[in-house]
Amino acid sequence: MNIGKLNATNGFDLRDFIVKYGFILVTVILFVWFASTEPTFRMQNTLFSMLKFTSVVAITGLGVTLTMVVGGLDLSVGAIAGLSVTLSAMTMVIYAQTGAVALVVVLLGGALVGLFNAFLIVVLKIPDLLATLATMFTIMGLKLVPVDGQSVSSGLILRDGSVAPGKFTPGFLLIDRAYLGPVPLPVAIFFFLAFVVWIFLTKTRWGRVMYAIGSNPEAARLAGVRVQRYRALAYALSGVFASIGGLILSSRIGQGDISAGNSLLLDAVAVSLVGTSVLGMARPNAWGTTLGAVLIGIVITGLTIKGFPYYAQDVVKGLVLLTALIFSFTLSRRKSRFVPAV
């Protein structure tokens, strides 16, 4: 692989061009193809519903991106989003609290799980992937305990035989259904968070330091950086982001579906990894993750309109990820150092 890197030529380099712009090009070409062959794809509604559909994965992926920046990877995000769905349902349906209370409970839950990950990784020194894997299984099971393994929806019969007193509040359901002007609220939240993460990672000292940690943690430590605090911060933030994704998901489903969030992990990790290849950055970054999520959204919406079966989606996602990995690892001249070793 090193030898291949040396065959540099002067002037235009196709490989560099592909690495830098390949992904954006693929996105644009697919978009144009779907738009020109499928009239429904062109409609504003379809576009926004596509982005709305993508927003949960994208927001969760932004959290994963933060952990990848510090050289880790949070495998518990799907489980956290699932936990958020159950928690919000429990708060509103079983405890008959308001949507606002549910929102606070969910965000706190996400932050707590994130901090628990941080504790496992930073204090107990368990490798990132293994620690978050353990967390994933634990909370996937744990969330079922208080609800006896059932999905929570209004009218649920509780253990003592009574009927659950509450329901999903209209306000809470608005999270997924409201609009800001023409823009669906989840899409607005998605872009707002992408913007915030972009600012955080590229313009603030904390983001800069986090990239340093991901590239060479010992050099960062010897430059006086409190590496473990930043790693803890990344996992806490990742937990919060996953719980925001879970909030939107919960509002969308309108009930405490126990299987919600199960497929989210792979999608969120995939968009973050796809994101590393955008513009040949070879490192996790906010716009990359955003674009990765949008690309997968476009592909899946397009294929669905074209009538491909649902199981084709996973094949396509897999191929998109594979292509991105080839861009990042095989074609890029930059050494990618952002995948944690187990």
Partner 1 sequence: MVSAVEVRNISMAFGANQVLSGVDLTIDKGQTTALLGANGAGKSTLIKILSGVYSSFTGEILIDGKVVTIDSPTTAKSAGIETVHQRIDEGVIPGLTVAENLLFEKIVSGEIPRAVSLKTIVNEAEKIAEALDLNWNRSKLRNDVYELGIAEQQMLILARTLSRSPKLLILDEPTSALSVAESQNLFRFIKNLEAQGIAILYVSHKLSELEQIAKKLVVMRDGKIRNEQSAPFSWDLALKEMLGQQELGERDNFKQVQGTSVTLKLNNVQLFKESAPLNLEIKKKEVTGIIGLLGAGKTELAKVIYGADELISGSMDLEGQSYKPAHPADAVIKDIYLVPEDRAADSMIPNWSISHTATLPFMGDFSARGIIKKLAEGIRGKELVQDLKVVTTSHEAFVDSLSGGNQQKVIVGRWLQSKPKLMILDEPFRGVDIGARRDISKRVRDLAATDVAVLVLASDVDEILDVADRIIVLVEGKVVMDVKAGETSKDKIVNKMSEVA
Q: How far is the CB of 206 from partner 1 (least distance, A)?
A: 6
Q: Name, in order, each residue with C-beta under 8 angstroms of 76's C-beta and a sequence gap of 6 or more.
A: 113, 117, 132, 133, 135, 136, 139, 239, 242, 265
337 near partner 1, rule: CB under 8 A = yes
Rank residues 9 and 44 by Cβ distance to partner 1 and give the closer one: 9
**Per-residue x/- mask for partner 1, residues 203 to 222, rule CB under 8 A?**
xxxx-xx-xx--xx-xxxxx
196 near partner 1, rule: CB under 8 A = no
> Please, which of residues 1-60 interact with partner 1 by CB under 8 A?
2-3, 6-10
Rank residues 220 and 295 by Cβ distance to partner 1 and give the closer one: 220
Rank residues 43 and 222 by Cβ distance to partner 1 and give the closer one: 222
Instruction: Tell me which DSSP letter residue 160 carries.
Output: T
Strands 183-184 and 179-180: antiparallel
Q: How far is the CB of 296 from partner 1 (least distance, A)?
A: 27
The size of the interface with partner 1 (CB under 8 A), counted in residues, is 29
| Residue 180: its H or E element | strand 179-180
Backbone angles phi, psi at 213, to 5 degrees: -65, -40
Query: Comparing C-alpha atoms, which of 272, 287, 263, 286 is closest to residue 325?
Result: 272
CA-to-CA dists, residue 276 to 18, 33, 57, 154, angstroms:
14, 25, 16, 42
Count the Cβ atoms, other than its own, within 10 Å of residue 187.
22
Q: How far is the CB of 220 from partner 1 (least distance, A)?
A: 7
Rank residues 125 and 205 by Cβ distance to partner 1 and give the closer one: 205
Binding site for partner 1 (CB under 8 A): 2-3, 6-10, 203-206, 208-209, 211-212, 215-216, 218-226, 334-335, 337
